Amino acid sequence: MLGRIFGWMRWPVAAMLIGLWSVSLLAQGLPTQSKHVMQRKLEASERLLAALVTSDWRALDRHGRALKALTDDPGWDQLRLPEFQKHTAAFARSTDAVIESAGRRDQHEALAAYNGLVASCVECHRYVSRARIVKTK
Q: What is the CATH number of the domain that holds 48?
A: 1.20.120.290
Residue 9 has a pLDDT of 60
Q: What is the pLDDT of residues 79-91, one digit of tens each?
A: 667 778 888 899 9
Question: What domain range includes position 96?
Answer: 2-136
Residue 25 has a pLDDT of 43
- Global pTM? 0.72
Report the domain count for the chain: 1
Residue 22 has a pLDDT of 47
The closest alpha carbon to 52, from 1, 117, 3, belongs to 117
28 has a pLDDT exceeding 60:
no
Q: What is the pLDDT of residues 111-130, one digit of tens each?
A: 999 999 999 999 988 888 88
Whether the CB-CB separation of 12 and 98 falls below 8 Å is answered with no
CA 4: distance to chain centroid?
24
